[in-house]
Structure 1
Amino acid sequence: MASTLTASCFSKIKTSSTMKPKLKVKHEYISVGGNRHPGAADWDQYNYTDVLAFGADNNIAFWEPLDPKKEGIFQLLSGHSAAVNVVKFLPGDNLLSGSDDKTIRLWRLILGSDGIGLFRPIKCVDAHQSSVKCMAVLGGSDIFVSGAADGTVHIWRLDGDDIILLQAISLSPKYFPLALSLARLDDKSYVLAVGGTRNSIQVYTSKNDEFSLAATLSGHEGWIRSLAFTKELDSDDLLLASASQDRYIRLWRVHQGLDLPASRAADPTLGILGKSLSNKAHRFEVNEQKYSVTFEALLLGHEDWIFSASWHTSDGKLQLLTASADNSLSIWEVDPQSGIWMSVARLGDVSAQKGSTTATGSTGGFWTGLWSPEADAVVSLGRTGSWRLWRRGEQWTQDVGVSGHTGEVKALSFAGHTYMLSTGFDQTTRLHAEWERDGLKSWHEFSRPQIHGYDLNCIASVDGTRFVSGADEKLLRVFQEPAAVADMLHRLCDIVLPDGPLPDAANIPVLGLSNKTIEDAADEENPTPAPHKAVYDLSHPPLEDQLARHMLWPEVEKLYGHGYEISAVAASEDGRFVATACRASSIDHAVIRLYDTRDWYEIKPALRAHSLTVTAMEFSYKNEFLLSVGRDRQWALWKKNKREEWGLGFSNPKAHARMILDAAWAPPCAGLVFATAGRDKVVKVWEVGDEEVQCVTTITAEHPVTAVAFHHLPICDSPILAYGLETGGIVLCRLRPSSLEMMVSFQMDALLAPSKAVNQLAWRFGNLGNTYLAAASDDTSVRVFNVDVCAICGVNLDPDYNSDDE
């Protein structure tokens, strides 16, 4: 970034409002998991911003790990159409990204007239014939390198706003590059290291901007996952670190001159390994200068694949950070007396004690490790998509990171005005709430109630302490909040403690899918000790290891009856009834089953009207009606009589031209009114009368409508409707109080909206009069927007406003 741009300037992105002038919308909270790829993240070392960027599905997320306010992810940058595998900062406000969509994109931070900076797309090139997997950049140079699954490495030059291909290298023998590193040999030439799906490393050197193979370094016994060049502090030599799936890091020395440097390859302490520690010199010549590459040292200590290696100089010492699938980060430095490289710090878990000894173990290990610009902190990304942060002090201490889903987020549900639950295809359910302390507020993940073995499709909060979730299995599961989590939410989020007894905590028994209370899970053959009280006695939101192991909710009921995967669930406002549905291709299976939450018995008979999958359901205010919509293009309105028996009141078999994907009830002040949203690119508003239900308003959208939600808070007398699109767009509408005609609508700025289909929307009233709109999306994100609803209520008073301009 330019010298005038500081971290505080960059952080202004967090308060940016990019909607229409009369409507103020900003991100209150973004939760998203990082992509499991060693190169999919970078902590800006050039531009003095303290900002970390990482791939999150097809987006790029921005987070300031050392932010004292701990506000988490503050921007998601969309543009790629597939998963982002590589992110690299460059000097001069530039950012490069590579993706499974085969493209490389150049982004630039541009300051607006208000002093707010936002990354904007500058250039996109079709870089390769297959997924871009790795990239190497070099500060002070306009050259960068990309590698892809098509078995090629491309050399590029960044020329202002343009990206120019200089050379395409076909790797021979053909293999897929997974790691690249670029360094300067002198003022005119570069050295490039390439590693991937073979055991050796290829070294290329440049002459007149043309790279050619100079040496092949052998010794590793597994694929090469990371390469990193650095300049040695007390000499002009280059050191190359190579990290491999063979669990070892090798250091290589690039030396100028005919003489060979002294090497520690023959260190007697390494002889027991029986490894090939050959000190063979690989010689080459560049610009009439002689060079050699020799093996320098073998670093051992990790117990599983090593995914990343990165250098940094701290306190005059050269240090190497490595991240491994054994759930640990290691910091290495050379001992000045013996010259032997040693691990001076080990962060994370000891895998042998945690039961994870492979790259597909219970926690999956760390996929990348990054230094902060000042080397006063390090971060790591794990299989669960969560970032862990450690700060350097007298000892390394763990601090609050960020977390999120790594699969499509299919559903969310607010528990009254307290916390929010989200669930999706990463097979987890997560609880999000506002952390309140010292006048500051920020959203975080506070519990992971459910870690499942099936993709999760739907969720509904029954009351403040229970929820029901449905997955790709034939049953639904009911969970009860444990006392330890309730107490933590009370202390950190000011959420009122529930009345009545609660279970203490929960564990998952071995080979089980059902969360059991500690007492139920423990027996003589399988003792399950209760977690120590200190695990829950926290002064900050739980860290990732605590979320993954100690924040489960016990399962208290299973709801049976359906024959196929669960598709939808809804709970009544008073928590008395739960309605469920499953995927279906006939009327026999497209039934809705009702359960009484007092005893969890099914209320017979099942409700029959739909002939295909029921996609969404919602109870009306005071639970008088149950609204259901389905793939058969119809809606059905079920009515409860005085004997609490449910029957079909109204239905419309041809309500939409294509399948209906969502439905929502309007607030009581509008009367008995509901909206349906369909793949036919239409939102319809219906009014329920004594004899019939009429469509009073039809809102046409540009794309299929996948989610709809009414604002239920008493802000103004006009119903306010939000609907989400298959493309990720979100539109806010105000309806006329009497006729329910649309008065005005707003298209949410693409910089704020999701980049893939919106699966569910939900409103909630926040503190200090704030109104929150939450969105769950296929781009793996959960977003909470702070919406100025009063602006929507009064926007028609502006004579200069054009309601058709979206």
Structure 2
Amino acid sequence: MLQITADYLAAGANRHPSAADWDESGLLAFGTDRNLALWRPQKSDSNGISEILKGHEDIVNTVKFLPGSNGVLLSGSVDKNLIIWRKHESTGHYQHIQILHHQEKTNHQSSINCIAVAAGSTIFASGSADSTVKIWSLNEQHEANLQQTITITPRFFPLALALSPLAGATGSYVLAVAGTKDIIQIYVLDAQQGTDFKLQATLAGHEGWIRSLEFARETDTPDSDLLLSSASQDKYLRLWRIHQGKELPAAAASADPSLGAFIPGKALSNKAHRFKAQGLDFSATFEALLLGHEDWIYNTKWRFGNNKLQLLSASADNSLAIWESDAATGVWVTTTRLGEISAEKGSTTATGSTGGFWSGLWSPSGKTVTCLGRTGSWRLWNFDSQKDRWIQGVGISGHTQSVMGIAWSKDGDYLLSTSSDQTTRLHAKWKRDGQGSWHEMARPQIHGYDLNCIDSLGSSQFVSGADEKLLRVFSEPKAVANLLSKLCGIGGSHIEDMPDAANMPVLGLSNKAIEAVADGEEVEVVNGNSKHRDAVDPASIVHKSTLDLDQPPPEEHLSRHTLWPEIEKLYGHGYEISCLAASHDGSLIATACKASSIDHAVIRLFETKGWLEIRPPLTAHSLTVTRLRFSADDKYLLSVGRDRQWAVFERDAIEKSTYKLTESNPKGHTRMILDAAWAPTSARVFATAGRDKKVNIWAKDESSTGFTCRSTISETSPVTAIDFLNTMLGDVAYLAAGSETGFFAIHSLDTKTGFSAKMASFPITLIMLLLTYLSTYPNPSKAITQLAWKPVGAQNEKGKPDMQLAIASEDSSLRVYSYKSGSSVS
């Protein structure tokens, strides 16, 4: 029996201001594609995501923990459903206990954008693109029942909600609603008047959509005023005060309308909005305008600690700001700014690629803040009380679109992944002080086209294919080689011969090699009037100290300083690259492109010494070739395609770069074939996987002239990916198979009886289906795009080695699972 453990879970967060929340227990939950990811940012082991939960059918927009509920979690999605999650007492894993499905006509009928909760309350609110806000009550089992539906008038889509008890009015609540208009609606539930919220005030002042609302008590006294923060796309933060009493708060009573004169075209209103609850008088007034951000503001979070109230804001200007009220003047000022300075950000919401920060969160202790960027990565800062400053820590990252291709380096030291999010990422294990944790260590390629496939060309080169009809070859720079050596113990070859780093020129797609400069060295840079041909772009200047890190690189370093220089382009295909494979000796690259006719369904071979195409191309298929695989000794090249056939090409004994068609089967499966893999057996054996829900095992023995189907494994859904472990363990070959539904299994193939011509069938033992309680959600929620076993060294063949399987999926997740044999391998 195999034992499974999750070594590495990587998934980029969804770009939505409400898509993450941090619980008082230290657990942070965020939406990633249609899943939820759980992470403890303050854990010392830096192990990243601990669990990925599946249950939604579309993008998760909003996530909220219910305060004081021991971790009850609420989530809303584009699939129109609300899900309530709770930790299982015996397993410690989260599971959903209720789905509020859109098929119930009383539930939301459009995308759910926001959820609001209140401390110590059994009600919560949800806002949807159907222009309604629904109020739900929770019973003791944390199951929800609909209490009220608020239809927003005038009609707009709610993007932000805030809910809080009213001070002095037990059982009464105030609800703030805002979104795709420049107003904030205030609804009040008066416990004496019933259980419904009623509109009591409309707060005006913003001049753009409002993306975030958050209530906080001004002090920790029970009768404290409420402060409401609102963040808008007009680049301003506004604070509003909910005050109990007939008299207005001092700030509103003495407000000077001329205070807004310094903002062109703006005047600050001090209008008081009065309402009653349980016979008490309340007022809602404008409190303060906070200026300092240069772009849209997506998110605000309050924190009360050390007898002071602090506000955290996240903006598209790539900065986090911490605001406090000055004790002497009462003016709100920025005390700390984290992120990237304007000179380096090089982007705005309209034109840039960085895209700013979408969400900022406080840790329960207030000693850590995190923020989410456009690239799906989390950055983290810890407050150092001795140095009295914020120190950047180790965040997490992941792809934000389908992971289309993965490849281990030839010796298995690191894992490469490439995605429809137009990035290629390098993942490796950070080893220190007896601990180890997986991280993204480099981002070799940032592209302008969706990336479809990748393969390693050795320890320091790889080739990738994209929708741009050509392939690009990359070579490792010195900065990344030194980083992998220092943090991961991976020894680079020919480090001294490598360029220092690489950068991508403006308006270009090709990474160029650059040399780092010493910290004190002066470099003549290009300016608006420079006519010097040797002057350089300041964006390409990298100092040597910048490349020397003691921990995995943060997001800004990954995207700027870990690119790999491009050394070659390979042309020839007329359509988008569909698949590629590099020979095990690194001398050849086989590629294919998307095709609807026999003219384009060819396989092109390139030799890696001079990077020239070997003509003529190989022909066998009539539709898109979906997978190419070289045998372990590179003697054979296997191809499978959408035309339902497989083909085997044999290497010429003299001309090692030439392959010729030796056999094909036009009816290998009854539907298109999606993947193939060679078995690590002494005899020639390979497997093919198809949309007909079958994995066929094909074998060729000494007495036969061709490959025949020796056995078939039937699965419950179309099989989209397969891979063999690269070595035999005793007489057993291990085959991993992944499906269109995200389910995957490990099969063992017993070869003890050999491959004699009299053999009726090929013995197969299904040793493990990954429906196991060892990990509640081991399977991706969408189709598995590729499986890749980590290469196992020959010295481990007779023992019980740890086997690692990398899994790429359309749900944007990348997973590495370890398997250990619990009993003798046979």
Q: Is the shorter-chain TM-score for this pair beyond 0.5, marking a shared fold?
A: yes
Partners of 2:343 and 2:179 in 1: CA distance:
28
Q: What is residue 237 of structure 1 aligned with on the other side?
A: 225
Secondary structure, counterpart of 2:804 in structure 1: strand
The one-letter amino acid paired with 2:75 is S
Q: 1:266 aligns with which of 219, 235, 256?
A: 256
Q: List aligned pairs for 1:670-689, cutoff 5 A.
A: 671-689=683-701
Q: What is residue 590 of structure 2 aligned with on the other side?
A: 579
Query: Does the 8 A contact of 2:727 with 2:792 survive in 1?
Result: no
The one-letter amino acid paired with 1:285 is K
Q: 2:575 aligns with which of 564, 570, 591?
A: 564
Q: What is residue 57 of structure 1 aligned with on the other side?
A: 33
Secondary structure, counterpart of 1:595 in structure 2: strand
Shift of the alpha carbon at 1:269?
Answer: 6.2
Q: List aligned pairs for 1:530-569, cutoff 5 A.
A: 530-569=541-580
Deviates more, 1:537-546 or 1:259-268: 259-268
Secondary structure, counterpart of 1:357 in structure 2: coil
Partners of 1:426 and 1:468 in 2: CA distance:
17
Shift of the alpha carbon at 1:503?
Answer: 1.9
Query: Does the 8 A contact of 2:742 with 2:779 survive in 1?
Result: yes
The one-letter amino acid paired with 1:404 is G
Shift of the alpha carbon at 1:753?
Answer: 1.4
Q: 2:790 aligns with which of 737, 756, 764?
A: 764
Partners of 1:460 and 1:785 in 2: CA distance:
20
Shift of the alpha carbon at 1:713?
Answer: 2.9
The one-letter amino acid paired with 1:649 is T
Q: 1:515 aligns with which of 511, 517, 530?
A: 511
Q: What is residue 692 of structure 1 aligned with on the other side?
A: 706
The one-letter amino acid paired with 2:80 is K
Q: What is residue 500 of structure 2 aligned with on the other side?
A: 504
The one-letter amino acid paired with 1:566 is I
Shift of the alpha carbon at 1:688?
Answer: 2.3
Q: What is residue 278 of structure 1 aligned with on the other side?
A: 269
Q: What is residue 759 of structure 2 aligned with on the other side?
A: none
Deviates more, 1:384-393 or 1:357-366: 357-366
Query: Does the 8 A contact of 1:615 with 1:629 survive in 2?
Result: yes
| CA displacement, residues 196-249 of structure 1 (integer Å, 9 cap, x when unaligned) | 000010000013210110000000000110000011116521100010000111
1:228 aligns with 2:204: no
1:793 aligns with 2:825: yes
1:527 aligns with 2:537: yes
Shift of the alpha carbon at 1:751?
Answer: 1.3
Query: Does the 8 A contact of 1:371 with 1:377 survive in 2?
Result: yes
Shift of the alpha carbon at 1:286?
Answer: 1.5
Q: List aligned pairs for 1:597-746, cutoff 5 A.
A: 597-642=608-653, 643-644=655-656, 645-669=658-682, 671-689=683-701, 690-737=704-751, 738=753, 740-746=762-768
| CA displacement, residues 594-648 of structure 1 (integer Å, 9 cap, x when unaligned) | 0111111111110000000000011001100000000000000000111222100
Query: Does the 8 A contact of 2:301 with 2:311 survive in 1?
Result: yes
Aligned-pair Cα RMSD in Å: 1.7
1:312 aligns with 2:294: no
The one-letter amino acid paired with 2:49 is I
Q: List aligned pairs for 1:11-50, cutoff 5 A.
A: 22-45=1-24, 48=25, 50=26
Q: 1:344 aligns with which of 318, 335, 360?
A: 335
Task: Give the TM-score normalised by structure 1.
Answer: 0.93
Q: What is residue 481 of structure 1 aligned with on the other side?
A: 476
Secondary structure, counterpart of 1:558 in structure 2: strand
Query: Does the 8 A contact of 2:623 with 2:641 survive in 1?
Result: yes
Query: Does the 8 A contact of 1:304 with 1:359 survive in 2?
Result: no
1:133 aligns with 2:145: no
Q: What is residue 754 of structure 1 aligned with on the other side?
A: 780
Query: Does the 8 A contact of 2:257 with 2:270 survive in 1?
Result: no
| CA displacement, residues 22-43 of structure 1 (integer Å, 9 cap, x when unaligned) | 3210110011100000100000
Q: What is residue 430 of structure 1 aligned with on the other side?
A: 425
The one-letter amino acid paired with 1:425 is S
Query: Does the 8 A contact of 2:35 with 2:53 survive in 1?
Result: yes
Q: What is residue 148 of structure 1 aligned with on the other side?
A: 128
Q: What is residue 240 of structure 2 aligned with on the other side?
A: 252
The one-letter amino acid paired with 2:562 is M
Deviates more, 1:645-654 or 1:228-237: 228-237
Q: 1:276 to 1:792 in 2, by over 3 A?
A: farther
Paired residues, what number?
766
The one-letter amino acid paired with 1:253 is R
Query: Does the 8 A contact of 2:363 with 2:369 survive in 1?
Result: yes
Partners of 1:464 and 1:175 in 2: CA distance:
55
Structure 1: where are the runs of 5+ without partners?
1-21, 795-806
Identity %: 53
Shift of the alpha carbon at 1:770?
Answer: 2.0
Q: List aligned pairs for 1:195-210, cutoff 5 A.
A: 195-207=178-190, 208-210=194-196
Q: 2:99 aligns with which of 118, 124, 149?
A: 124
Deviates more, 1:515-524 or 1:613-622: 515-524
Partners of 1:766 and 1:29 in 2: CA distance:
18
Partners of 2:537 and 2:582 in 1: CA distance:
36
Query: Does the 8 A contact of 2:257 with 2:267 survive in 1?
Result: no
The one-letter amino acid paired with 1:245 is Q
| CA displacement, residues 12-56 of structure 1 (integer Å, 9 cap, x when unaligned) | xxxxxxxxxx321011001110000010000002xx2x1100000
The one-letter amino acid paired with 1:238 is L
Shift of the alpha carbon at 1:351?
Answer: 2.8
| CA displacement, residues 353-395 of structure 1 (integer Å, 9 cap, x when unaligned) | 4222335522100000000001000000000000000001210
The one-letter amino acid paired with 1:695 is C
Shift of the alpha carbon at 1:584?
Answer: 0.3
The one-letter amino acid paired with 2:488 is C
Q: 1:388 to 1:716 in 2, by over 3 A?
A: same
| CA displacement, residues 415-437 of structure 1 (integer Å, 9 cap, x when unaligned) | 02211000011000000001111
1:403 aligns with 2:413: no
Shift of the alpha carbon at 1:668?
Answer: 3.3
Partners of 2:100 and 2:485 in 1: CA distance:
51
Shift of the alpha carbon at 1:270?
Answer: 4.7
The one-letter amino acid paired with 1:405 is H
Deviates more, 1:500-509 or 1:340-349: 500-509
Shift of the alpha carbon at 1:765?
Answer: 4.8
Partners of 2:236 and 2:46 in 1: CA distance:
35
Q: List aligned pairs for 1:291-440, cutoff 5 A.
A: 291-358=282-349, 361-393=352-384, 394-416=388-410, 417-440=412-435
Structure 2: where are the runs of 5+ without partners?
102-106, 517-524, 527-532, 755-761, 794-799
Partners of 2:815 and 2:394 in 1: CA distance:
19
Query: Does the 8 A contact of 1:505 with 1:530 survive in 2?
Result: no
Q: What is residue 459 of structure 1 aligned with on the other side?
A: 454
Q: What is residue 51 of structure 2 aligned with on the other side?
A: 75
The one-letter amino acid paired with 2:98 is K
The one-letter amino acid paired with 1:103 is N
Q: What is residue 15 of structure 1 aligned with on the other side?
A: none
Partners of 1:377 and 1:518 in 2: CA distance:
36
| CA displacement, residues 294-349 of structure 1 (integer Å, 9 cap, x when unaligned) | 10000000000000011001211100000000000000010010010110000001
Shift of the alpha carbon at 1:268?
Answer: 6.6
| CA displacement, residues 528-559 of structure 1 (integer Å, 9 cap, x when unaligned) | 54311122211111111100111100111000
Shift of the alpha carbon at 1:766?
Answer: 7.2
Shift of the alpha carbon at 1:525?
Answer: 6.1
Secondary structure, counterpart of 2:558 in structure 1: helix
Query: Does the 8 A contact of 1:203 with 1:213 survive in 2?
Result: yes
The one-letter amino acid paired with 1:231 is R
Q: What is residue 778 of structure 1 aligned with on the other side?
A: 810
